[in-house]
Each structure stands twice: as C-alpha cells, then as structure tokens.
C-alpha cells in the first residue's frame, strides 16, 4: 500500500473531479503468499496496469499484502483498509489479478464481495470472465470453493512434510531469538542474545511480570532480531518456547509434537519447567477483570457492544497522525457487516456529555491525604525510582552493558539513597481523610485508565452501537 495517508486527500479531491469528467476511478488489491512466486506483487501490478490502460480504468492507488495467506482476511491489513475505504465513495472498482488473490476462504470471499457490492464498488478479476449477476453469483461460489480446496490441499501437503521432519527432531522453523540456523544444520547459539534469554528467565523467576521485563529490555535498548522494540508477546514466547531447553515443538492439526532436538540448550530443563509452572499459575490469576494498568488502552474498553453481532468494540491503533478508533470486533474478523468505527475522542465527548446531562453531580469517595501524607507519598515514589534505577543497573551488568566495577558503584549509590529516604519516611506521621470526588472530573482529568474504567462502569452498564444507522445508546446502571 503506497502512501495511503496522503492518497486519501487525493481521493477526496478526485471524488468531486470524477463527477464532472465521469472517470472510472479504480483501486487495485494485490497479495503475494509464499506458495507461488509467480504471483509476485510486481507481476500482478504490471498485468493489472496493462488491463486498466486497455479498458479505460484509472487506478488511483494500490493496496498490497506481501507474504500473507489469503485464508484469514483479518490478518491482511491492506485488505481490511481497502474494505474500509470502499464505503467512502471515492472509487467505483477494485481490480484483482484473480479470485485467489482476494480470498481463499469461501465464507469470507462472499462476505467481503457483498460488502463491496453494498458500497457500490465492483470487483473485477482481470484473468477470469465477466458474467451477469446471476452467473457471477454461481461463479463466485465455485471459484471460492476451488480456491479454498486448493489452499486446504496445499496446507495438508506442507504439513505432512513438516510433520515428518519434526518427528525426526529436525528444527524446521526460523531460528528463535538466541539462535542462528545454518542451512541443513542444527541451531547455533548466539551468545549475546542467549545472555538476554537467560536474564529474561531469571527476571521472571524473581517475580517480574512480562510487561516489566519487556519495559526493562526496552530501557536497555534491546531489540528483536528484526530491530523492533520488545513487547510482552515477545517475552511470553521466550518463556514458553521449549527450544531453549533443547527440544523442538511442532503443532499441526491440534496435535503437538515435542521431541528432543540436536541443538544445544540455553536454559536447563529444571529451570524451564519451573518457569512453566509459574507462568501457568500467573495466567490463571490474570483474568480480564484484574489485568494490570499497563494493559488498558482506553477507559471505554469492554463497554461498547455492536447491536448486530453482540461483539465488543475493540481499540484500533492508527498511525500517521490519524485518530485511534473503536470498531466492531466482529467486523474485523469478517463475522459482521457493520463497518462503522468511531474516533476515541468523538466517543469520549459523547459519553461525557451524556453523563453530564444525566448525572452531573454524582461523586465517588476517595482518600484525601494531608500535607504530611503527601510528603511521605512523594518520598515513597522517590524510593521506587531508586529501586528501579538499581534494578536497571543490575540488568545492565547482566546484559554486559556495564562492567562489574560500574555496577558496584551504582549499587552503593542507589542503596544508600534508598536507606536515607526510608529513614526520612519513617519519621513522618500521616493521616487519611475521606473526600468525595466528581466522577466527571476523573473521566475528564489526567487519571490512570484503571480508575477511569472503574468510574465509567459505576455509571454505565453498556453502550450499544448501531453502526449502520450511526446511532449510539448508553444504558446506565439502575442504581444511579
């Protein structure tokens, strides 16, 4: 997808331009998976350009998904963006190389072709015959079924070969972090990465959360193999990957193959198994109602529902200075045809205005600290800062960023500061008073997401979204 953010302004301009000049404004969608290299992006674009020129179609931009399977639409960002743009009326046609580039899942193929049709956009496959509506309906089902059958057959052949290798203990995936895979040889340990893997296991056994570990690694400028920042998924994959104890795990058709491999382990089996027990116990405790603050992206998460499929509206991150949005979780999975989305600031304004109209004076009791308590709280915050600094210094040494002498100096300094602050804190007496705070002030103020979500749920039972008719209904809790 080329410069889509800039092209949207071009699309708005040319939308009015086409009214006067009757242009056949067209988008092109191209996709390349890994099973057929002759379906290269360049080859598809070249053929589509020739077809467009010959048949008087004006291509205004391309949507490209590279190296992505056609089985799951929600995993193809350019495809989903193209479907979203179709409702704006900027273009009349979408050109594709053939129906397999559009989708290899019959159900999703029919769903998204139907969405395009409702948005008055014609889908044209340049290598397949154009038919009348009745014949096209039959052809869509036939081509969709054939593409899905081909995809399933190919998947079975590939899985069979991979399963045979996995049963022999051969490592057939890309080398995970900490390893390098020479061609046709066992995995080789990358020492610098292996030290980071060892530290991740140690930090987790020391009681650190996956989020805290990811944050620590990012603070020390540790990157993934691809040069990306570390996130919690990366940490979880490392903590649960048996490759690090010298095994190879392969999953196919709900069957898990776990065999001893021929590469050197980074973590001993006892440590690895201990981490698995701890990880599973933490996973049971960490449900949707008590996730840590860091996991909350917005205080309206989990409250908004689509009236058509009853799925929750999910938070969608946007880039290039575009406003983040909420959209139906069912639509992103191809299970709902309501493509409505709303910006986070727009829905905030609507909700806060409704609360202000119905419950302007509702308050919640919180602790109000006096001057001494606030002073003590500030000292405790400083203690936590020095503790984190001490932990960072320790990690910098373990990751071989600082020398042992540098770590000793930092440890002495931070430890002394912590003790000084503890003594100062112990000499301060505090008292707590209870005060009432306006829930509206919390929702509009600079408070953390956990508190905001709690305040919102005290008032709001749920928010029903009728995307097709652009209607929003807020159902308040009865006791309010």
pLDDT at 271: 93
Give domain status of residue 182, yes or no: yes
**pLDDT, tens digit (0-9, with 9 covering 90-100), for 164-213:** 555 555 566 678 899 988 877 888 899 999 999 999 999 989 888 887 88
Of residues 83, 93, 99, the one with CA closest to residue 142: 99
> Which pairs count as long-range contacts for 460-466, CB under 8 Å and 24+ apart, including other chains?
460/303, 460/351, 460/355, 462/303, 462/304, 462/305, 463/300, 463/303, 463/304, 463/305, 463/351, 464/305, 464/307, 465/304, 465/305, 465/306, 465/307, 465/313, 465/328, 465/340, 465/342, 466/307, 466/308
Same domain, yes or no, for 208 and 263?
Answer: yes
CATH number for position 15: 3.40.50.1390
Give domain status of residue 157, yes or no: no
pLDDT at 294: 47
Of residues 372, 375, 377, 368, the one with CA closest to residue 433: 368
Give domain status of residue 158, yes or no: no
CATH number for position 265: 3.90.1750.20
**pTM score, whole prediction:** 0.38
pLDDT at 362: 77
Model confidence at 307: pLDDT above 90: yes
Same domain, yes or no, for 93 and 18?
Answer: yes
Same domain, yes or no, for 334 and 416?
Answer: no
Give domain status of residue 154, yes or no: no
Query: What letter does residue 436 receive in the DSSP assignment?
Result: E
Same domain, yes or no, for 456 and 404?
Answer: no
Mean pLDDT of 52-65: 86
Same domain, yes or no, for 242 and 316?
Answer: no
Model confidence at 248: pLDDT above 80: no
Mean pLDDT of 365-376: 59
Residue 216: φ, ψ to 5°: -60, -45
Give domain status of residue 130, yes or no: yes
Same domain, yes or no, for 124 and 194?
Answer: no
pLDDT at 387: 85
Of residues 270, 118, 123, 124, the one with CA closest to residue 201: 270
Same domain, yes or no, for 20 and 96?
Answer: yes
Give domain status of residue 159, yes or no: no
pLDDT at 293: 44
Give domain status of residue 91, yes or no: yes
Mean pLDDT of 257-282: 85
pLDDT at 8: 46
Q: What angle do CA 59, 62, 67 make, to 5 degrees?
A: 150
- The tally of domains found in the chain comes to 4
**Alpha carbons 230 and 275: distance in angstroms, whole number:** 20
Mean pLDDT of 416-432: 77
> Considering 149, 176, 205, which residue would you say is the last residue of a domain?
149
Model confidence at 267: pLDDT above 90: yes
Q: Is residue 231 very low, low, confident or very high in pLDDT (cuts 50, 70, 90)?
A: confident
DSSP state string for 254-268: TEEEEEE-SS--SS-
Mean pLDDT of 463-480: 86
Q: Is residue 4 very low, low, confident or very high in pLDDT (cuts 50, 70, 90)?
A: very low
Mean pLDDT of 419-445: 75
Q: Is residue 477 very low, low, confident or very high in pLDDT (cuts 50, 70, 90)?
A: confident
> What percentage of the chain carries pLDDT values higher than 70?
72
> Considering 245, 261, 286, which residue would you say is the last residue of a domain?
286
> What percentage of the chain carries pLDDT values higher than 90?
12
Same domain, yes or no, for 237 and 172?
Answer: yes
pLDDT at 262: 80
> For residue 140, what are the CA distances in angstroms to 29, 104, 146, 385?
17, 11, 10, 61
Same domain, yes or no, for 272 and 228?
Answer: yes
**Alpha carbons 373 and 365: distance in angstroms, whole number:** 18
> Considering 286, 319, 338, which residue would you say is the last residue of a domain?
286
Give domain status of residue 156, yes or no: no
pLDDT at 157: 54
More confident residue, 287 or 318: 318
**Helices assigned H by DSSP within 298-403:** 329-332, 344-358, 371-398
Query: Across the chain, what does the average pLDDT equal?
Result: 76
Mean pLDDT of 266-286: 81
Same domain, yes or no, for 39 and 127?
Answer: yes
Same domain, yes or no, for 131 and 49?
Answer: yes
Query: What letter does residue 61 receive in the DSSP assignment?
Result: E
Q: Is residue 462 very low, low, confident or very high in pLDDT (cuts 50, 70, 90)?
A: very high
Same domain, yes or no, for 332 and 458?
Answer: yes
pLDDT at 39: 59
Which of these ranges, 5-14, 151-160, 204-213, 292-301, has the smallest mean pLDDT? 5-14
> 329 is in which domain, residue-wise?
295-364+436-476
């Amino acid at each position: 997808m080329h410069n889509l953010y800039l092209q949207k302004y071009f699309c708005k301009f040319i939308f009015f331009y086409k009214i006067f000049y009757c242009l056949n404004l067209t988008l092109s969608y191209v996709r390349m998976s890994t099973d057929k290299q002759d379906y290269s992006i360049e080859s598809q674009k070249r053929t589509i350009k020739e077809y467009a020129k010959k048949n008087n179609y004006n291509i205004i931009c391309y949507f490209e998904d590279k190296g992505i399977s056609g089985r799951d639409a929600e995993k193809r960002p350019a495809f989903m963006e193209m479907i979203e743009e179709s409702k704006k009326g900027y273009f009349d046609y979408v050109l594709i190389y053939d129906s397999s580039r559009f989708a290899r899942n019959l159900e999703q193929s029919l769903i998204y072709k139907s969405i395009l049709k409702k948005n008055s956009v014609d889908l044209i496959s340049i290598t397949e015959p154009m038919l009348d509506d009745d014949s096209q309906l039959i052809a869509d089902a036939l081509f969709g079924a054939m593409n899905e059958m081909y995809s399933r057959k190919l998947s079975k052949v590939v899985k069979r070969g991979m399963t045979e290798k996995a049963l022999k203990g051969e490592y057939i995936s890309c080398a995970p972090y900490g390893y390098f895979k020479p061609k046709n040889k066992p995995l080789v340990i990358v020492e610098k990465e292996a030290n980071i893997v060892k530290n991740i296991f140690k930090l987790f056994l020391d009681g650190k959360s996956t989020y805290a570990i990811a944050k620590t690694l990012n603070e020390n400028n540790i990157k993934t193999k691809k040069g990306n920042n570390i996130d919690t998924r990366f940490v979880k994959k490392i903590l649960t990957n048996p490759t690090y104890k010298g095994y190879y795990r392969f999953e196919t058709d709900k069957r898990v193959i776990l065999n001893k491999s021929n590469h050197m382990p980074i973590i001993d089996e006892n440590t690895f198994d201990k981490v698995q027990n701890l990880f599973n116990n933490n996973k049971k405790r960490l449900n949707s109602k008590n996730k840590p603050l860091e996991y909350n992206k917005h205080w309206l998460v989990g409250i908004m529902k689509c009236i058509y499929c009853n799925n929750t509206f999910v938070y969608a991150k946007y880039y290039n200075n575009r406003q983040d949005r909420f959209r139906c979780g069912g639509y992103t999975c191809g299970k709902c045809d309501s493509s409505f989305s709303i910006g986070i600031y727009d829905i905030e304004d609507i909700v806060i205005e409704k609360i202000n109209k119905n419950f302007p004076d509702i308050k919640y009791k919180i602790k109000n600290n006096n001057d001494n308590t606030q002073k003590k709280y500030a000292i405790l915050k400083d203690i936590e800062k020095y503790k984190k600094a001490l932990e960072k210094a320790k990690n910098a040494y373990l990751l071989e960023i600082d020398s042992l002498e540098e770590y000793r100096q930092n440890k002495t300094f931070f430890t002394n500061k912590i003790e000084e602050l503890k003594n100062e804190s112990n000499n301060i007496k505090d008292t707590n008073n209870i005060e009432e705070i306006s829930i509206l002030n919390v929702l509009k103020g600079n408070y953390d997401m956990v508190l905001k979500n709690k305040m919102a749920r005290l008032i709001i039972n749920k928010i029903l979204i009728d995307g097709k008719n652009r209607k929003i209904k807020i159902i308040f809790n009865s006791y309010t």
